[in-house]
Structure 1
Amino acid sequence: MTRIRPASTNVHGRAGDDRAARIADSIGAVFAHRPQAYRAYIEAEQALQASGTLSPRLVELVRLRIAFHNQCRTCMATRRAPDVVSEDLVCSLERPYEAPDLSEEERAALRFADLFAADHLSIDDAEYDKLRAFFSEAELVELGMRCAFFVGFGRLTATWDVVEDLPSSFSQQDFTAPWGHQEVVEFAPFVE
């Protein structure tokens, strides 16, 4: 059971037989304690999705890499872009700097994500200069905002322990990774 009692159920009004809907509703039911703030969070995510210029592939790779750092099992078990990020590609996140199927742009974004999640104060002028080889100033802002969402809300969700509807390999307390699991959940939580 999640560590924060749900304020309500079926927040998103989706069918209860779908695993992705149950996961979204479990998280939403906790956020329902602060519905206006939750709505603002969803709207901010939707604005990034609607106006962002970073590729869905890059965003999903960054999200999953940060989920690993956060140890957010809910985040690691879900796939927001399964049509552009295969499970083989997810497995490359174990060693992203050696993976042949990642572009230099993706490696640069993943390095930024690693630093953002684990050593943010080491992100200095030199790191931003390296990123500018691949990203515009607007894209750097978008990348930073996405990392901030993924780190902050991923860690929050991890502390809530919302794991009841996850595949069994993700629902245990052991240290885990988003790669190497037999079952994952296709998930689009902010499409309403």
Structure 2
Amino acid sequence: MRQAVQPEALTDLEQGLTRFFAHCPEQALGLMQFGRALKANRRLSERLVELVRLRIAFFNQCRSCMAIRYSDAVADGLNEDLVCSLERPQEAENLTDAEKAAIRFGELMATDHLSIDDATFADLRRHFSEEEIVELGMTCAFFVGFGRLAATFHMVEELPEAFRGDAPIAPWGEERIQVR
């Protein structure tokens, strides 16, 4: 696995995750390849994906997910005002209708996936192609599943103090770890 991952190119947080998943190197490589494929062939905007990721991270209580902002999303317009809007996304004036629909889908994937119905998909179709909806679903599944796994492993050693406790936290209004 060391040959496939250049540790010097990873943040402390990413190195922590990599060290943990290294206990199953073949599976970890498959996970990394899947994550890279989702990103390399992305149709959705980086900003939208980051907003959905952070909202799901809140429901998962994945501290490592909440503590990081990806630089490609920042370059695509993500800022902390938008992140703060995730507290009440459907009321936010600085989120687009498309972002609200995607965030709502991500929320439902994280909290009540069986309530996703035809109306949910009709709302998504107003803003996204079928390919983008499938991509959003796969991306949300990735975030929900591995965010929950990371939360259960409680990998917080590399995080700022604000993210290390056991009490529920949010990705808005807290100290940030870094932009990656």
Q: How does the TM-score come out when normalised to structure 1? A: 0.86
Distance 1:85 1:171 in 2: 24
Confirm or deny that 1:26 pairs with 2:24. no
Distance 2:47 2:177 in 1: 17
Q: Could you say what secondary structure the match of 1:24 adopts?
A: helix
Distance 2:158 2:120 in 1: 39
Distance 1:133 1:63 in 2: 21
User: What is the aligned partner in structure 1 of residue 83 from structure 2?
Assistant: 90
User: What is the aligned partner in structure 2 of residue 190 from structure 1?
Assistant: none
Q: Match for 1:47: what amino acid?
A: A
Structure ranking higher in helix proportion: 2
Give the counterpart of 2:112 among 112, 115, 119: 119
Q: 4+ residue runs of structure 1 moved beyond 2 angstroms?
A: 81-84
Give the alignment of 1:1-192 within 5 angstroms.
Answer: 12-14=6-8, 21-80=11-70, 81-83=73-75, 84-187=77-180
CA RMSD of aligned residues (A): 1.5
Q: Deviations over 1:62-112 (max 9, x none)?
A: 000000000001100011123321111100000101111000000000110
Post-superposition offset of 1:39: 0.9
2:47 touches 2:78 (CA, 8 Å); kept in 1? yes
**Number of equivalenced pairs:** 174
2:68 touches 2:176 (CA, 8 Å); kept in 1? no
Q: Could you say what secondary structure the match of 1:52 adopts?
A: coil
Q: Match for 2:151: what amino acid?
A: A
Q: Match for 2:31: what amino acid?
A: Y
Post-superposition offset of 1:182: 3.0
Q: Deviations over 1:136-156 (max 9, x none)?
A: 110010000000000000000
Q: Match for 1:186: what amino acid?
A: V
Distance 1:181 1:82 in 2: 17
In structure 2, stretches of 5+ residues that fail to align are none
In structure 1, stretches of 5+ residues that fail to align are 1-7, 188-192
Post-superposition offset of 1:12: 3.8
1:67 touches 1:76 (CA, 8 Å); kept in 2? yes
Post-superposition offset of 1:34: 1.1
Q: How does the TM-score come out when normalised to structure 2? A: 0.92
